[in-house]
Every structure is written in C-alpha cells, then in structure tokens.
C-alpha cells in the first residue's frame, strides 16, 4: 500500500507543483491521475520515486517513508517500485528476454549482470512474464524489431520482473493508437488485480481513464480537486479539474478524433468489400 501525506513540491523557480497532497492507494487498486498540463501529475509520480525531491510530506510505501531515506537506502527501496514509461525505455539492441531480465539488475551482483549471467529462477520467471504479456514467441527478437504495443508489453514485463510492490506508470499509451492503447490498459488492469499491485497511472486521455481506472484523482494547480470512481466524473467535475474552456476544447478534440476514426473504419470496410 502507498500513502502520501501532505506531499508538497515547490521548485527552485518558485513554482508550486504540488500542494499538500494526501491520498492512499491500497493493494490491487489502479488509480488514474488526470489534470491539465502543468497540474503536477509528473511531479507527483517523480516525488514518489524521488527523481524529484519533495519539499515536504511523507511517501509511505508500507512502513517505509521514502521521502526520508539517504542515498544507499533509497537505491535499495527503489527496487520496490516498478516504472513503466511512455517511450518504453527499452535497450533497443538487446533482445526482448534481456530487456525483461534487466528488471532484475537491482538484485543480481554486478559481475553477473555484466556477464549477463542471470540465475535460473530469474530466467524462468522472465519466461512466465513474457507469456503473461503475450510475447513468448518474441523472446529472442531484438527490441527494435517490435511494434509500439509489443514494446510496451516488454516494458510491463520488465517492471514486473522487478517484483515490485507499486507500479508507477507515466502516460503508457501516449505513443499508441486507440485500439492498442485499450489493449495495454486492459493488460495493466488485469495484472494489478491478479498480483494485488497498487498502481498510479498518469493519463492524458480522459475517456480511456474512465473506461479502465477503478479510481480517478484529478489534479489542478498541484491540488487534488477530484477523487472518486469514474462514474462520479461528471461534466461539473471535469470542469473543476480542467476549467470550462479547456474541458470544452478537449471534448471537441475527442469528438473530432472519434469522427475521424469512424470515418477511417468505414472507408476500410468499404475497401474490403
């Protein structure tokens, strides 16, 4: 379980990116983080793994306050947090299997990782994970030979290989088409439910968040202005999060995109006949 208590961040420039955020993500819950550009979503995720140093507050992962740790302890504790990124962050010239095994690097001694000698248990687990994300037959391919959706599946398997207690997911579908985005979201939701992992997903796409997240937290100017299930995310709530003008513009953009997708589908269907 993750608990943030009074988490705040003011950058040296004087920008207050997070102001007194308190929330809890229980085991197995997948929480979507939404909000306009500059609301503090990335800062929140980065304060949890301390890529950004919080100005105040606690980041409790189980009994440990990550915000308090010195460098050595932090390095060890970071193993407990799996990260999944928008741009996948794979090593392109390594195989899918090697990329998944790299999730174990925090656990194996340096010489073993240097020689790429991973324990048999790690290799067996990596195969299980590849099977789980539907990439078993691609294990020996180089990462740069995969599609975007397949790369993100590798990213998910690598994060899980770490045996994390928390997943932090930063715009996992921003580089993917709508259908692949939904497949990736479904996979993430299933995995969190199966393994009891709590997850925070930074997500720009509101309809996608509404479709897949069990809980949505809306940030505006560094503060939590909405926290509830997707069905409570009414037009009023969205206006509170995004502001009247921005929300209308976003909605219009979504409608245009949906019309364009439907149009493309119709044309493909006509061509197929």
Ligand X SMILES: Nc1ncnc2c1ncn2[C@@H]1O[C@H](COP(=O)(O)OP(=O)(O)OP(=O)(O)O)[C@@H](O)[C@H]1O
Binding site for ligand X (CB under 6 A): 11, 13, 15, 17, 35, 37-43
HSE on the CB side for 153, CA within 13 Å? 25
Residue in the block written with tokens 């950058």: 11
Which runs of E-coded beta strand occur in the chain? 2-10, 16-25, 30-34, 56-61, 64-65, 81-84, 166-170, 199-202, 215-220, 223-228
Largest CA distance in the chain: 65
- By C-beta, is 133 or 201 nearer to ligand X? 201
Residue in the block written with tokens 């044309």: 267
SS3 8: strand
Asked if 97 contacts 143 with a C-beta cutoff of 8 angstroms, the reply is no
Q: How far is the CB of 175 from ligand X (least distance, A)?
A: 14
Q: How far is the CB of 42 from ligand X (least distance, A)?
A: 3
- By C-beta, is 98 or 171 nearer to ligand X? 171
Asked if 126 contacts 78 with a C-beta cutoff of 8 angstroms, the reply is no
Q: How far is the CB of 238 from ligand X (least distance, A)?
A: 15
- By C-beta, is 52 or 94 nearer to ligand X? 52
Q: How far is the CB of 261 from ligand X (least distance, A)?
A: 23
Q: How far is the CB of 17 from ligand X (least distance, A)?
A: 3
Residue in the block written with tokens 């930063």: 170
How deeply is 65 buried, as exposed, middle or buried, from its count of CB atoms within 10 A (0-12, 13-18, 19+)?
A: middle
Q: How far is the CB of 96 from ligand X (least distance, A)?
A: 29
- By C-beta, is 15 or 177 nearer to ligand X? 15
- By C-beta, is 174 or 237 nearer to ligand X? 174
Q: How far is the CB of 16 from ligand X (least distance, A)?
A: 8
Asked if 9 contacts 57 with a C-beta cutoff of 8 angstroms, the reply is no
- By C-beta, is 42 or 214 nearer to ligand X? 42
64: tokens are 């440990």
- By C-beta, is 6 or 196 nearer to ligand X? 6
Please state, in angstroms and rounded to a whole number, the distance separating the CA atoms of residues 217 and 233.
10
């Amino acid at each position: 379980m993750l608990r943030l208590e009074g988490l705040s961040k003011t950058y040296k420039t004087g920008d207050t990116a997070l102001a007194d955020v308190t929330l809890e993500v229980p085991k197995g819950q997948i929480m979507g983080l939404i909000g306009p550009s500059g609301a503090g979503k990335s800062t929140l995720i980065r304060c949890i793994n301390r890529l950004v140093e919080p100005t105040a507050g606690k980041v409790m992962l189980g009994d440990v306050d990550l915000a308090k740790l010195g460098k050595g302890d932090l390095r060890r504790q970071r193993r407990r947090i799996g990260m999944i990124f928008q741009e996948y962050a794979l090593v392109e010239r390594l195989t899918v299997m090697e990329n998944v095994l790299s999730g174990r690097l925090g656990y194996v001694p340096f010489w073993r990782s240097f020689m790429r000698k991973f324990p048999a248990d790690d290799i067996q687990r990596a195969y299980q994970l590849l099977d789980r994300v539907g990439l078993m037959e691609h294990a020996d391919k180089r990462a740069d030979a995969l599609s975007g959706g397949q790369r993100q599946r590798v990213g998910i398997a690598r994060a899980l290989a770490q045996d994390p207690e928390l997943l932090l997911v930063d715009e996992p579908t921003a580089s993917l088409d709508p259908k692949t985005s939904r497949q990736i979201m479904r996979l993430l939701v299933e995995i969190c439910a199966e393994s009891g992992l709590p997850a925070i997903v930074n997500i720009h796409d509101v309809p996608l968040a509404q479709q897949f997240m069990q809980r949505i937290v809306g940030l505006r100017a560094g503060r939590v202005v909405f926290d509830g299930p997707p069905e409570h995310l009414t037009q009023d709530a969205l206006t509170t999060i995004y502001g009247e003008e921005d929300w209308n513009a976003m909605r219009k953009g979504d409608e245009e995109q949906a019309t364009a997708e439907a149009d493309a589908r119709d044309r493909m269907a006509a061509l197929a006949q």
